[in-house]
Every structure is written in structure tokens, then in C-alpha cells.
Amino acid sequence: MSRYASSKIIQLSNGYHVWTRRVGESPIKMLLLHGGPGSTHTYMKIFENYLPPAGIEIYFYDQLGSYCSDQPDDISLWNVERFCEEVEEVRTALGLDHFYLCGQSWGGFLAIEYALHHGHHLKGLIISNMVASIQSYMDYIHILRKQLPIEVQKNLEYYENKGEYDAPEYQDLLFKSLYRKHLCRLDPWPSDVQHGFALMNNQVYNTMQGPNEFVITGNFKDWNRWEDLAHIHTPCLVIGARYDTMNPNDLIEMARRMPNAQSHICENGSHLAMWDDAESYFSAIQQFISKVEEN
């Protein structure tokens, strides 16, 4: 294996193990937090194509319950506080300090929590495709839903009222009406994106979020950090996309509320803008890091 890429298994204080992989070699280091919750690093592999060649050392990491890491059958583990402290344990084990943290979707949620609890370790923060409260997300997803044809809305409600979230017909409606328009606009989806969805740990996802993007019933449903953003002094990039499941106006407002933040909206992208608007997405990240490094 090249000295520029290596994997490391980290034992957490609770005895479970999580998987990490370093790519690149540079004094500029970035830890990546994947979404879900309960997804995997696989859909973020595209970072490897852009950041290490630009002189940024990156660390992939599967959170506990995800793919290459241990997957204990214990719903008490799936909560915001424990995941936040897990990130700190991973940071310590990797020897990272004064580093960049990039979280996408649920990972952006987790990055906000980490910045509020352990921000003194950060050199820069990237909040990708995540707003500052679950209510804000729900408000916007409701707007997107109301834009669907009436017949599609009625069919979604039919299965939701019966609690048949796993019905093939319901899943097909979700994919065609929401996922293809607002999660990833490429057709077909890249294999890494497909793997990210196929490998989802549904116990983690259902416990914390709920059945799907439209129905939020999990234990983080009341999460709200709008008033706390002013306490994040770390240089920050809030990045999202025009066709995202997160309201672009909310992302811009998040950056406005932080003392040292900027925002970037990828005009052709969706929730996975790193794939369907890659040049805009990664150019913004590289420019942000260059700016921070100059100061």
C-alpha cells in the first residue's frame, strides 16, 4: 500500500471499533463526516479525486453502526451526544489538531455539534447540505412535497397512513419524485452513491431520523442550533445547492449568523452536489481552505 493511503481501526471507549482511511499526505488535514445517519463513507469517495491532488490530506471514517465499522444491535447508542463524543475520540486517535472538519447532511449536523463542543481543535469547518434545525429541514421538504403532482401526493399519503414505508410502490414514488430531483440529479446514479444507500444501517437511521426524508419521527427531530451559531467562531464554509433538500436561503442565513463564515450555493446541484455539481462544489472548498491558510 502506498504511504499516501492507509487504513486504521480505532477502538472507542465503549469497546466498539470504527474504521478510518487516510488519503494523501499534507500538513493540511480534513476529517470527513458522512450522512445518514447510518450511511457510509462510500458515497464520499469522490473527495479523493479532488482534495488530495490539491494538497489536502483527507480522512474517511465510517461512524459506529456503518459499513466498515462495528454494527452493534443496540439502539441506545444512536443519539447525537454519543456520536459527537465519538468524533472527538476519532480525532484524538488520528492525532488531528488544528484540522478541517467537513460534514455532509447528517454529518453537517454532527459537525455543528462538534464545533460547539470541541471547536478549539478546529482550523476550519465545512457544513455541507445541512440546515441549523430539523424543523427548518421539515418546513422546506414540505414545500418540495407540495410541488409534486396531486396524484403523487395522494399516493404517498396512502402508504404513509398505513405505515407501509417499505412498500415497493412507496419506495418507487420516493425515488422518482424526490430522490432523483433533490438527492442526486445524475442518471444513472454513480455506483458509489448507490452503494451508500444500499449499505444504510436502517436501525441507526430509523432511530434518529425516522422512516424516510419526508417522515421525521426519530430522536433528533427537535434539534435546533439556530441561536447557537453565533458561538461558532471557527472559519466556516456553509455549502449547499439550488436543488437541495435543504433550503438554500437557510444555508445563506446560517453563514450570516456566524462571526467568521461564508456560504456557497452550487447552482446546478442537489443534496449530493459533490457529484452532480462537482466543479462548483470542490472549487468552493478549495478556495475556502486557501483563504484560511493565507491568514
Residue 244 annotated as catalytic: yes
Residue 139 annotated as catalytic: no
User: In one letter, which amino acid is 39?
Assistant: S
| Active-site entry in 70, 244, 276, 277 | 244
Cβ burial of 91 (10 Å; 0-12, 13-18, 19+) is buried
Residue 271 annotated as catalytic: yes
Pairing of strands 99-104, 29-33: parallel
C-alpha distance from residue 256 to each of 10, 108, 156, 209, 288 (Å): 37, 17, 36, 27, 16
d(CA 169, CA 174): 9
C-alpha distance from residue 195 to each of 57, 62, 125 (Å): 24, 14, 27
| Active-site entry in 264, 271, 276, 277 | 271
d(CA 279, CA 273): 9
DSSP labels for 57-96?
Answer: EEEEEEPTTSTTS---S-GGG-SHHHHHHHHHHHHHHHT-
| Active-site entry in 66, 69, 105, 177 | 105
- Catalytically active residues, by annotation: 105, 244, 271
